[in-house]
Amino acid sequence: MKKVVLFCLLTLTLSVSSLMAQCPKLCNEETMVPLFGASLENGDFEEGVWAFNDEKVLVPNKDSVIWTKEKYGSFVCSFEFFAPAGSNSGFLFHCTDKGDWIPNTIEIQLLGDYGLEPNYHTCASFYGYQAPTANATNPADQWNKMVVVSIGQTVDIYLNGKHVNHIDLSQWTDRFKSPAGTDIEEKFQGKALADSEPYGYIGFQGQHGGDGVTFRNAKVKHITCCAKGAKSELLFGEKLENAEYNPEVWSIDAEGVMSATKDDVIWSKEKYKNFVYDLEFKNSKDSNSGIVIKCSDKANWIPNSLEIQVFDSYDRAVDISACGAVYGHCAPLYNACKPAGEWNHMQIVCKDEVITVFLNDELVTRMDKSLWTEKETNPDGTEVPSWLRENAPADLQNEGYLGLQGLHGDSPVVYRNVRVVRLDD
């Protein structure tokens, strides 16, 4: 799958109105690829159910879903749909179980309901959860265009050029009631949306009532952050000449791979405030290391900085110590770590108080540290490890040194292509 190589870093902190202004940029057709492939080669579907007709319209002949073979976290998906009066279908995403998709998927309703009052069953609703703000569906004899923008736990829906729905999944912590106090439909009460992974397969529901909904021009792209080529520089220099470190601990080989023999941090000589920290790392079995940001005291860095966890946590449950976590404070949304022995790509975007972590081109962690005002507990109620309780994250300086933790335990982590992009310019 072709990945988009540049994303406006500030979008992650934009208001809804600002996001609306960004939508045309995110939906640049030149950066998007066919959702299921040009000939459905990237689709997972029951044989004989889905096919393109002579006009390249995607048509189902029964109620059976077509799924992507690839999972998506943060993405933009654009498609057109034709919905005759009384037809019923859905755009499905964040699916974690194709075999039992209804309770393990979010559905955006697709209906031929022109002129009806919106509710949580109408077109562009988060089906069973939240109604759109308006009915923007075209008459039954016209095509509709929908754009879905999913970034972390926020999802926005645009229908025929209008922004009609927005949801922040992190606010949906009650499986029976919405944040506004309305009832959630019974068949969706098995799990709160806030507990669902914002990562999974994308699909279209098949012929579900009426004459069926048909589709065309379905395209998608991952939303990623890429610093390479964007005025990036090697953080420590080609031979570590820009680093502050113990040469008996840290070394770099002819291929540019950095390694350490003791638990001793290598530091940047300069401080950074708004930046992208871009690097690759390879875990060994049960390895444990960290990427240090916002450090104001190198001699006593643990309580005076934040650490992005590097850990061999492939195929494990996520918590505040998982790979990609802001260690001790903010767990990843889901596990995107590769198995030990494979290279991982991480990008850490710091813009004032907001820290966003991309792991292997997936947005896995987002923390607004101004909300972490307590020393002993995090906003979600989890306890902060005792050795991190000297300062609350909200009280830490935004500008600081950048570093890499050395050999922490018996299993090494190695690094390469450690780069930085300043966002202040």
Residue 269, pLDDT score: 97
Residue 234, by phi and psi: left (phi above 0), alpha (psi -120 to 50) or beta? Answer: beta
Residue 272, pLDDT score: 96
Residue 208, pLDDT score: 81
Residue 29, pLDDT score: 63
Best CA proximity match to 90, nearest among 67, 114, 56: 67
Residue 190, pLDDT score: 83
What's this model's pTM, rounded to 2 decimal places?
A: 0.83
Report how far residue 133's alpha carbon sits from residue 167's, in angstroms, rounded to the nearest whole number: 12
Residue 424, pLDDT score: 72
Q: Which long-range contacts (CB under 8 A, 24 or more apart) does 100-107 make?
A: 101/65, 101/203, 102/187, 103/187, 103/188, 103/190, 103/191, 104/196, 104/200, 105/200, 105/203, 106/155, 106/193, 106/196, 107/205
Residue 231, pLDDT score: 76
**pLDDT < 50 positions in the chain:** 1-24
pLDDT digits (tens, 9 = 90+) for 4-55: 323 333 334 333 333 434 444 555 566 899 999 999 999 999 999 999 999 9
Residue 9, pLDDT score: 36
Letter for the amino acid at 405?
Q
The number of residues in the chain equals 425
